[in-house]
Homo-oligomer: A and B are copies of this chain.
Amino acid sequence: MKTKKSILLVEDDPNFGRILKDYLTINNYEVTLAVNGIEGFEKFNKSEFDLCILDIMMPFKDGLTLAREIREINDIIPLIFLTAKNLKDDVLKGYKIGADDYLTKPFDSEILLAKIKSILNRKPNVNIDENDVFEFDFGDFSFNSKLRILTHKLGETYKLSPKENQLLKMLVLNFDDLLPRDIALNKIWRDANYFTSRSMDVYIAKLRKYLEKDFTLKIINVHGEGFRLMKE
Protein backbone atom coordinates (compact mmCIF):
# COMPACT_ATOMS: atom_id res chain seq x y z
CA MET A 1 0.00 0.00 0.00
CA LYS A 2 1.51 3.25 -1.14
CA THR A 3 0.59 6.83 -0.65
CA LYS A 4 1.04 8.11 -4.16
CA LYS A 5 0.27 6.17 -7.28
CA SER A 6 3.30 5.86 -9.48
CA ILE A 7 3.30 6.27 -13.21
CA LEU A 8 5.91 5.31 -15.76
CA LEU A 9 5.83 7.83 -18.59
CA VAL A 10 7.70 6.95 -21.75
CA GLU A 11 7.87 9.86 -24.17
CA ASP A 12 10.69 10.76 -26.52
CA ASP A 13 9.88 14.45 -26.94
CA PRO A 14 11.79 15.94 -24.00
CA ASN A 15 9.77 19.14 -23.84
CA PHE A 16 6.44 17.48 -23.96
CA GLY A 17 7.62 14.77 -21.62
CA ARG A 18 8.69 17.24 -19.00
CA ILE A 19 5.53 19.27 -19.21
CA LEU A 20 3.40 16.20 -18.88
CA LYS A 21 5.48 14.88 -16.04
CA ASP A 22 5.18 18.16 -14.17
CA TYR A 23 1.46 18.28 -14.75
CA LEU A 24 0.96 14.79 -13.37
CA THR A 25 3.31 15.48 -10.47
CA ILE A 26 1.27 18.52 -9.50
CA ASN A 27 -1.74 16.27 -9.54
CA ASN A 28 -0.21 14.04 -6.97
CA TYR A 29 1.27 11.22 -8.97
CA GLU A 30 4.82 10.02 -8.71
CA VAL A 31 6.11 10.11 -12.24
CA THR A 32 9.17 8.42 -13.68
CA LEU A 33 10.10 9.67 -17.12
CA ALA A 34 11.91 7.62 -19.73
CA VAL A 35 12.88 9.05 -23.10
CA ASN A 36 12.67 5.91 -25.21
CA GLY A 37 11.49 2.34 -25.19
CA ILE A 38 14.81 0.92 -24.07
CA GLU A 39 15.11 3.18 -21.08
CA GLY A 40 11.44 2.64 -20.44
CA PHE A 41 11.89 -1.09 -20.18
CA GLU A 42 14.87 -0.72 -17.85
CA LYS A 43 12.97 1.56 -15.53
CA PHE A 44 9.94 -0.67 -15.65
CA ASN A 45 12.03 -3.54 -14.36
CA LYS A 46 13.76 -1.48 -11.73
CA SER A 47 10.75 -0.56 -9.67
CA GLU A 48 7.03 -1.02 -9.48
CA PHE A 49 4.43 1.14 -11.12
CA ASP A 50 0.67 1.44 -11.03
CA LEU A 51 0.26 2.64 -14.58
CA CYS A 52 2.26 3.13 -17.79
CA ILE A 53 1.74 5.87 -20.33
CA LEU A 54 3.53 5.03 -23.56
CA ASP A 55 4.11 7.12 -26.63
CA ILE A 56 3.78 4.93 -29.66
CA MET A 57 6.10 6.75 -32.04
CA MET A 58 9.57 6.56 -30.56
CA PRO A 59 13.07 5.95 -31.87
CA PHE A 60 14.95 2.73 -31.05
CA LYS A 61 12.01 0.95 -29.57
CA ASP A 62 8.45 2.03 -30.21
CA GLY A 63 5.66 2.04 -27.69
CA LEU A 64 3.89 -1.02 -29.02
CA THR A 65 7.02 -3.15 -28.82
CA LEU A 66 7.66 -1.90 -25.33
CA ALA A 67 4.08 -2.70 -24.40
CA ARG A 68 4.49 -6.26 -25.61
CA GLU A 69 7.59 -6.70 -23.48
CA ILE A 70 5.84 -5.25 -20.47
CA ARG A 71 2.84 -7.49 -20.99
CA GLU A 72 5.06 -10.54 -21.03
CA ILE A 73 6.16 -9.74 -17.53
CA ASN A 74 3.04 -8.18 -16.13
CA ASP A 75 -0.39 -8.69 -17.57
CA ILE A 76 -2.36 -6.53 -15.27
CA ILE A 77 -0.67 -3.17 -15.17
CA PRO A 78 -2.82 -0.65 -17.04
CA LEU A 79 -1.38 0.79 -20.22
CA ILE A 80 -2.34 4.04 -21.90
CA PHE A 81 -1.03 4.84 -25.34
CA LEU A 82 -0.33 8.20 -26.84
CA THR A 83 -0.54 8.37 -30.60
CA ALA A 84 0.63 11.42 -32.50
CA LYS A 85 -1.77 10.93 -35.34
CA ASN A 86 -5.06 9.22 -35.35
CA LEU A 87 -3.56 5.99 -36.62
CA LYS A 88 -6.37 3.54 -36.38
CA ASP A 89 -4.05 0.63 -36.91
CA ASP A 90 -1.88 1.59 -34.00
CA VAL A 91 -4.90 1.99 -31.81
CA LEU A 92 -6.22 -1.43 -32.69
CA LYS A 93 -2.81 -3.03 -32.23
CA GLY A 94 -2.62 -1.34 -28.88
CA TYR A 95 -5.89 -2.78 -27.72
CA LYS A 96 -4.83 -6.16 -28.96
CA ILE A 97 -1.77 -6.05 -26.76
CA GLY A 98 -3.98 -5.23 -23.85
CA ALA A 99 -4.11 -1.49 -23.68
CA ASP A 100 -6.60 0.08 -21.35
CA ASP A 101 -6.92 3.24 -23.32
CA TYR A 102 -5.34 5.52 -25.84
CA LEU A 103 -5.24 9.24 -26.47
CA THR A 104 -4.50 11.06 -29.66
CA LYS A 105 -2.20 14.02 -29.48
CA PRO A 106 -2.88 16.77 -28.98
CA PHE A 107 -5.09 15.82 -26.11
CA ASP A 108 -6.63 17.66 -23.23
CA SER A 109 -4.69 17.23 -20.03
CA GLU A 110 -7.80 17.26 -17.88
CA ILE A 111 -9.18 14.38 -19.86
CA LEU A 112 -5.98 12.44 -19.48
CA LEU A 113 -6.22 13.01 -15.76
CA ALA A 114 -9.83 11.84 -15.71
CA LYS A 115 -8.86 8.72 -17.62
CA ILE A 116 -6.00 7.99 -15.25
CA LYS A 117 -8.27 8.34 -12.26
CA SER A 118 -10.92 6.19 -13.86
CA ILE A 119 -8.44 3.45 -14.65
CA LEU A 120 -6.71 3.48 -11.30
CA ASN A 121 -9.96 3.57 -9.37
CA ARG A 122 -11.39 0.60 -11.07
CA LYS A 123 -8.56 -1.60 -9.97
CA PRO A 124 -8.12 -0.74 -6.33
CA ASN A 125 -5.72 -3.47 -5.33
CA VAL A 126 -4.76 -5.44 -8.32
CA ASN A 127 -1.33 -6.32 -7.18
CA ILE A 128 -2.44 -9.55 -5.64
CA ASP A 129 0.80 -11.16 -4.64
CA GLU A 130 2.05 -8.09 -2.90
CA ASN A 131 -1.08 -7.26 -1.01
CA ASP A 132 -1.91 -10.79 -0.18
CA VAL A 133 0.77 -11.33 2.42
CA PHE A 134 1.02 -8.78 5.11
CA GLU A 135 1.09 -10.73 8.33
CA PHE A 136 4.43 -11.89 9.63
CA ASP A 137 5.63 -13.48 12.81
CA PHE A 138 9.26 -13.46 13.81
CA GLY A 139 10.94 -13.54 17.17
CA ASP A 140 8.62 -12.11 19.76
CA PHE A 141 6.93 -9.90 17.23
CA SER A 142 3.98 -10.03 14.96
CA PHE A 143 4.02 -7.57 12.16
CA ASN A 144 1.12 -6.42 10.02
CA SER A 145 2.42 -4.49 7.06
CA LYS A 146 -1.04 -3.52 5.88
CA LEU A 147 -1.99 -1.82 9.11
CA ARG A 148 1.62 -0.81 9.62
CA ILE A 149 1.80 -2.10 13.15
CA LEU A 150 4.50 -4.04 14.90
CA THR A 151 3.35 -5.79 18.05
CA HIS A 152 5.55 -7.21 20.74
CA LYS A 153 4.06 -10.29 22.34
CA LEU A 154 4.36 -8.92 25.84
CA GLY A 155 4.44 -5.24 25.44
CA GLU A 156 3.67 -2.46 23.16
CA THR A 157 2.39 -2.01 19.68
CA TYR A 158 4.34 0.35 17.52
CA LYS A 159 2.88 2.30 14.65
CA LEU A 160 5.32 2.24 11.79
CA SER A 161 5.87 4.99 9.30
CA PRO A 162 5.55 4.06 5.62
CA LYS A 163 9.30 3.86 5.15
CA GLU A 164 9.86 1.90 8.34
CA ASN A 165 7.13 -0.40 7.24
CA GLN A 166 8.43 -1.04 3.75
CA LEU A 167 11.94 -1.57 4.95
CA LEU A 168 10.95 -3.97 7.67
CA LYS A 169 8.80 -5.86 5.23
CA MET A 170 11.68 -6.32 2.85
CA LEU A 171 13.94 -7.44 5.67
CA VAL A 172 11.38 -9.94 6.86
CA LEU A 173 10.78 -11.28 3.38
CA ASN A 174 14.52 -11.90 3.23
CA PHE A 175 14.75 -13.19 6.77
CA ASP A 176 18.16 -14.55 7.62
CA ASP A 177 19.29 -13.61 4.15
CA LEU A 178 20.97 -10.56 2.70
CA LEU A 179 18.82 -7.63 1.68
CA PRO A 180 21.03 -5.79 -0.79
CA ARG A 181 21.15 -2.06 -0.26
CA ASP A 182 20.54 -1.21 -3.90
CA ILE A 183 17.50 -3.39 -4.11
CA ALA A 184 15.88 -1.83 -1.10
CA LEU A 185 16.82 1.68 -2.15
CA ASN A 186 15.43 1.29 -5.63
CA LYS A 187 12.26 -0.22 -4.40
CA ILE A 188 11.54 2.01 -1.45
CA TRP A 189 13.32 5.24 -2.30
CA ARG A 190 13.11 4.71 -6.03
CA ASP A 191 16.68 5.88 -6.35
CA ALA A 192 20.04 4.80 -5.00
CA ASN A 193 22.44 7.60 -4.15
CA TYR A 194 24.39 8.98 -1.25
CA PHE A 195 21.46 10.73 0.35
CA THR A 196 18.89 8.01 0.03
CA SER A 197 21.51 5.67 1.40
CA ARG A 198 22.01 7.85 4.46
CA SER A 199 18.28 8.00 4.88
CA MET A 200 18.09 4.24 4.79
CA ASP A 201 20.70 4.05 7.54
CA VAL A 202 18.52 6.25 9.68
CA TYR A 203 15.63 3.88 9.19
CA ILE A 204 17.74 0.86 9.97
CA ALA A 205 18.59 2.53 13.26
CA LYS A 206 14.93 3.11 13.98
CA LEU A 207 14.04 -0.49 13.28
CA ARG A 208 16.87 -1.70 15.49
CA LYS A 209 15.39 0.33 18.30
CA TYR A 210 12.03 -1.36 17.95
CA LEU A 211 13.51 -4.80 17.62
CA GLU A 212 15.82 -4.54 20.61
CA LYS A 213 12.91 -5.65 22.78
CA ASP A 214 13.83 -9.12 21.58
CA PHE A 215 17.52 -9.64 22.29
CA THR A 216 17.79 -12.52 19.90
CA LEU A 217 16.86 -10.46 16.86
CA LYS A 218 19.52 -8.50 15.06
CA ILE A 219 19.85 -6.44 11.95
CA ILE A 220 23.46 -6.88 10.95
CA ASN A 221 25.27 -4.94 8.32
CA VAL A 222 27.16 -6.62 5.54
CA HIS A 223 29.70 -4.01 4.72
CA GLY A 224 29.20 -2.57 1.26
CA GLU A 225 26.44 -5.02 0.51
CA GLY A 226 23.35 -4.51 2.59
CA PHE A 227 21.59 -5.72 5.70
CA ARG A 228 20.44 -8.96 7.12
CA LEU A 229 17.70 -9.56 9.66
CA MET A 230 18.46 -12.65 11.70
CA LYS A 231 17.61 -14.44 14.89
CA GLU A 232 20.10 -15.23 17.58
With A118-B100, A148-B225 already in contact, the answer to whether A108 and B88 are too (CB < 8 A) is yes
A contact residues, total (Cβ < 8 Å): 43
CB closest residue in chain B, given A148 = B222
Contacts of A224 in B (CB 8 A): 3, 162
Contacting residues of chain A (178-232) with chain B, CB-CB under 8 angstroms: 178, 180, 182-183, 186, 191-193, 222-225, 228
Within 8 A of B (CB), among A80-110: 88, 91-92, 95-96, 98-101, 108, 110
Chain B residues in 8 Å Cβ range of A147: 177-178, 222, 228
A152 within 8 Å of B (CB atoms): no
Looking across the interface, which residue of chain B has its beta carbon closest to that of A224? B3
Shortest distance between the CB of A232 and any CB in chain B (Å): 12
B91 x A114 contact (CB < 8 A):
yes
Interface, chain A (partner B; CB < 8 A): 1, 3, 28, 88, 91-92, 95-96, 98-101, 108, 110-111, 114-115, 117-118, 121-124, 146-148, 159, 161-162, 177-178, 180, 182-183, 186, 191-193, 222-225, 228
5 closest residue pairs by CB, A with B: A95-B114, A3-B224, A121-B186, A95-B118, A92-B114
Query: In the complex, how many angstroms separate the beta carbon of A156 from the nearest chain B beta carbon?
Result: 15
CB distance from A219 to the nearest CB of B (A): 13
A162: B residues at CB distance < 8 A: 223-225
Q: How far is the CA of A49 from the CA of B212 in the complex (A)?
A: 40
- The answer to whether A225 touches B1 (Cβ under 8 A) is yes
List the B residue with the shortest CB-CB distance to A185: B121
Complex-state Cα separation, A1 to B182, whole angstroms: 11
